[in-house]
């Protein structure tokens, strides 16, 4: 059974059995991974056929959700997991950044998650 971070606002992010509802989800495709190798006197261009992929999600969390979100970040940081953003699976990804920010005097805080992987 998963847990929910804030109310649904149009975006969903499914990480294993856990569902988050970020306020913003951005998906970036990077340039192809290219390797230039000198062969003889010339240069040979090689590519592995995959494109770098990055997903950035930001949203708010309530004070009672902080511990659950922190646990999810720590679990994800030690392994790869399948990421589903807005109903589309992007395959196995790693957590490159997991930040929880709280300001003094405010209730709850903001989370920022950045995932990286490759799409074949």
pLDDT of 2 reads 42
Number of domains the chain contains? 1
Sign (positive or negative) of CA dihedral 119, 96, 60, 64: positive
Chain mean position to CA 53: 10
pLDDT at 5 over 80: no
User: Residue 77's domain is classified under what CATH number?
Assistant: 2.40.30
How do strand 109-119 and strand 88-101 relate by DSSP bridges? Answer: antiparallel
Question: Which is nearest to 110 in space by CA: 6, 4, 32?
Answer: 6
What 8-state DSSP symbol labels residue 64?
Answer: G
User: What percentage of the chain exceeds 90 in pLDDT?
Assistant: 22
Q: How many of the other CB atoms lie within 10 Å of CB of 3?
A: 13
Question: Which is nearest to 116 in space by CA: 49, 51, 47?
Answer: 51
Mean pLDDT of 37-51: 58
Total number of residues shown for the chain: 120
**79-119 pLDDT, tens per residue?**
788 899 988 988 888 898 999 999 888 888 999 999 988 65
**54-70 pLDDT, tens per residue?**
899 999 999 899 998 99
- Strand-pairing partners, residue 60, are 110
User: 14 is in which domain, residue-wise?
Assistant: 4-119
């Amino acid at each position: 059974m998963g847990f929910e971070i804030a109310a649904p606002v149009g975006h969903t992010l499914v990480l294993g059995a856990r569902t988050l509802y970020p306020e913003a989800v951005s998906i970036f495709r990077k340039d192809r991974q290219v390797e230039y190798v000198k062969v003889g006197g010339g240069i040979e261009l090689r590519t592995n056929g995959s494109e770098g992929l990055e997903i950035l999600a930001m949203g708010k969390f309530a004070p009672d959700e902080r511990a659950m979100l922190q646990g999810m970040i720590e679990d994800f940081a030690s392994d790869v997991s399948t990421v589903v953003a807005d109903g589309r699976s992007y395959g196995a990804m790693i957590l490159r950044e997991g930040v929880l920010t709280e300001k003094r005097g405010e209730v709850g805080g903001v989370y920022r998650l950045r995932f990286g992987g490759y799409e074949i």
